[in-house]
A and B are shown apart, each in its own frame.
Chain A
Amino acid sequence: MAERWGVERVLALAPDLGSAAAARKLARPPAWSDPGVAGDLLWGWCQGSGARPYETTVDLSGPAYRCSCPSRKFPCKHALALLLLWATGAVAEGGEVPEFAAEWAQTRAERAARPRGERDEAAAATRAAQRAERVAAGLAELEIWLQDQVRTGLATAGYGHADAVAARMVDAQAPGVAGQLRRLSTLPASGDGWPARLLAGYGRLHLLARAHERLGELPAPLAATVRSYVGYPVTRESVLAEPGVADDWLVLAVRDLLDGQIPARRVWLRGRRTGQWALILLFDPLGAFGKTAEGALAPGTSLPAALHFYPATPPLRVVVGPGAGAAVASAPPEPAADLTAQLSEWAAALELDPWLPEWPAIVRGVPLPGPRSWRFADDTGAVPLLTGGVDPWVLAAVSGGRPVVVAGEWTADGLRPLTVWHGETAVPL
């Protein structure tokens, strides 16, 4: 028998707000006849606008859904409502599994049992070697292109100047490099000092291409970091094969990046006992991250789990290992000693990974509003506060001019605040 879920977990599955609202309305016993649950199978009939009631089934282990309604939403409001009904304890356990549910469960079981096909290890190795060759050839072209840029002069670069070479890097199976080039492509004429920003970006790419040339000579963690920036795929299975780090992982902050090619969510974590930082990175084409347990993690909760780190230096990105517990409310985190200490940690991380765009931070200080830009200050001084995409006024309101604990991302340009603690409560910004 599956353990009953919370209402939040069910609502997190909703494809949009409208579905959630519609499901809430339907999640009342009078709308359902004979709902039941047995094992992982949950079923019921829901009277809709049609003559025949809809037959709704949910496999809680997936979760997977099936409903005879014509809705294109997935899961549909009936499946959500049924889950809500169950979550609130209004579905009796046991009972006879109706035919429509049993049939569907059987089909699913058969599909799952089919052998995946033996992985041809030799073929995989060949593919990997081919890829490495293709990337090496692509990065050699990139290096020539970069040198041409500084020889002919950055002044001739216009908006989109690097798009063609970015496309070439996609063909060369170096999507990470392609992404960085696309960002650099938007820099020309982007405000004061753009040539310096562009040249710095070229410098980092040059460093990456040079590092890739010597991939075999680098220490394994650094080589993995280089490979990850270039964009070599790392399978989830291979990460899970690494030993996990068990701890109570405090969810520090959640940041959605919706302007990229694929919407992404960053979930920043810190181990309460190990003090280790971790990052869960999620991608979803629709930006609906709440569908997974990781995506539903909220700042201020703590996740008892073993996290498996992607190989890299410093290690940061993780996969949540199997058997993770439920996230529970947690006390606020311990901040860095002061901003200067935080800066030292950032420098130490950069020493290991010179391409690092940001590093997690927990700091204690006072937000200072300004007419053009905000700052964040403690006894050691003030640093710029990056307020794009966040509401700094919520931070100011919680602070009231007194020091508050803030979790966020530390970058070369300043602190991007993502969560502030209001007493014991984590407030996302």
Chain B
Amino acid sequence: MTAFTDLVAAATVGLAQRPLHVTALAGPAGGHEDVLPGDPAPAALAAAALFDAAQRAGGLHPEPVALPPPAPDDPAPELSATGGEILAEVLLTGDREVLVDLLELAGGAGVRAPAPLLPALLALAAPTRALREPVAAVLGTRGRWLAAQHPEWRRVVDSAAAVLPPDAWETGFLAERVAWLREQRANDPAAAREVLAAAWPRENGDDRAGLLGALAVGLGAADEPFLEQALDDRRADVREQARHLLARLPASAFMARAVERARSVLSQHRNGVTVTLPEPPDAAARRDGLTPAPPEPAVGEAAWWLFQVVARAPLALWLDRLGATPAEVVARPVAGEFTAELRAAWRAAAVREADPEWAAALLAVPAPTPLAVPDPRLTELLPAPERVERAVAVLAGERPGTIADVAACPAPWPTELTDAVLGYLGAQVRTAAPPRPGDLPRLLGRRTDLADRRDVPGWLRELADRFRIRTATVPSAGRWAAPLERAADLLDLRRRFARELP
């Protein structure tokens, strides 16, 4: 009886060395020996053909198997087929910003991604932290079930899960410990601080600053002693974090010291402001974060000391001493050469205190020094209608500014702003004046709310065509056409997608 393995063994060595006389074939090929020729080599080949046919026809018997439990039913509805096609298209283009936007729309509407797209979404989100949360929001039970079976996809679900392990504080990673501490702070700030204080001496320097930052949740006067001792920490980042938090406690000794340092620096003299330059920072001032050396060579030492002292003082101090309103304070002429530094210091304080009134006053006056925070940081503090008003004026060429002023306007854009943007683009077509710095088409493409405005994509395409026609005469016009079309496409895409959501 010859089995296929015998045949293979003989043929591997060679029939010349290892003769094989095939008489009877084993298995299902048995009974067909009569077709084999007498000559050994052709007989071996013919037998191989018989074994091959038998093996291929019958070798693949289903083996009994226990099926694992299936995925639980998913209560969330699946995104429509059309919505899925749009999502698949965006996945192909690799535009992550648009993808995140659509995923957030879908997640917000409570729909889950179509099952066939789950692997692509999980594969994309696994190595990219920024995608995990939006992807996790559309996974549904099916997607979580799938992720659990793939070693690299699990983290998409794990890291996006709001539920922390019960031993997060004792054994978690820094991010988990910070998240745990923030949770505790929200419930019982004092108890959470006690937990941190108890662990503090054992914490390694790298973790301290991060953990201390968690005290921002539920920050109160009771935290002051702990923060005050952190000012003497060995690590600069811990000390900086402590100062940052103490500055948010108006009644703290830290702020009282800042007021004390600033009190004598500025005074009102007739209609103007007189500056009395501060001393170089002493040990106590350095403990509170003041530095003797300016951060930039363009800034003088005295100017730097003045800036720090004023920037760290509460703005309310000046309302008592220099004027009734921020506008009045800011408008006063400053004796000597430090006008810019003073305004820059007030800008820093306005940002820290998030004060819209000071921001508006300071935006009206220039502060030409590298120490000044840029206008958009202040613009963000203004009430929405004022931001829109500014942006409209910038677009109309009535005041200096950039596309950042437009970007600072919150959604949804009022009609006057949309009109101003389209008007600005129209003016660009006609005059080819140097455009405002910033990427307006990109901004337009990202304005979710514009997708609701039926006319906007059409207008953008129309403008793109007009820019394209102008390319012959104004070379720079070509830069506009494609980005505007892209913006219009994005708006259309989003509108089509939004229509697919419940």
Contact = CB atoms under 8 A, between A and B. Distances in A.
Given A150-B45, A196-B4, A393-B146, A422 B11 contact: no
B115 interface: yes
B485 interface: yes
B64 interface: yes
Contacts of A425: 81
Contacts of B42: 143, 147, 206
Interface residues of B, number: 55
B171 interface: no
| Interface range, A side | 35 or more
B73 to A, nearest CB: 9
Could you tell me the dominant secondary structure of chain A's interface residues? helix
B60 A412 contact: yes
A201 B485 CA distance: 58
Could you tell me the dominant secondary structure of chain B's interface residues? helix
A108 interface: no
A354 interface: yes
A129 B143 CA distance: 62
A42 to B, nearest CB: 23
Interface in A263-296: none
Given A155-B14, A203-B49, A206-B42, A400 B70 contact: yes
Contacts, number: 162
B75 interface: no
Contacts of A398: 115-116
Contacts of A105: none
B46 A203 contact: yes
B51 A203 contact: yes
Interface string B128-162: 00000000000000110110011000000000000
B65 A377 contact: yes
A393 B142 contact: no
A380 B61 CA distance: 9
A155 B116 contact: no
A414 interface: yes
Interface in B108-137: 114-119
A136 interface: no
Contacts of B485: 25
Contacts of A375: 65
B150 A203 contact: no
Interface in B36-51: 41-42, 44-51
A150 B15 contact: yes
B62 A383 contact: yes
A200 B51 contact: yes
A207 B49 contact: yes
B69 to A, nearest CB: 7
Contacts of B145: 400-401
Interface of B: 4-5, 7-8, 11-17, 41-42, 44-53, 55-65, 67-71, 81, 114-119, 142-143, 145-146, 149-150, 461, 465, 485
Interface of A: 25, 28, 30, 143, 146-156, 195-196, 199-200, 202-204, 206-207, 210, 339-340, 343, 346-347, 350-351, 354, 366, 368-369, 375, 377-378, 380-384, 391, 393-394, 396-398, 400-402, 412-414, 420, 422, 425, 427
Please name the 7 residue pairs, one residue from A and one from B, whose CB atoms are nearest each other, closest first.
A153-B14, A381-B62, A203-B48, A401-B70, A203-B49, A206-B45, A412-B56
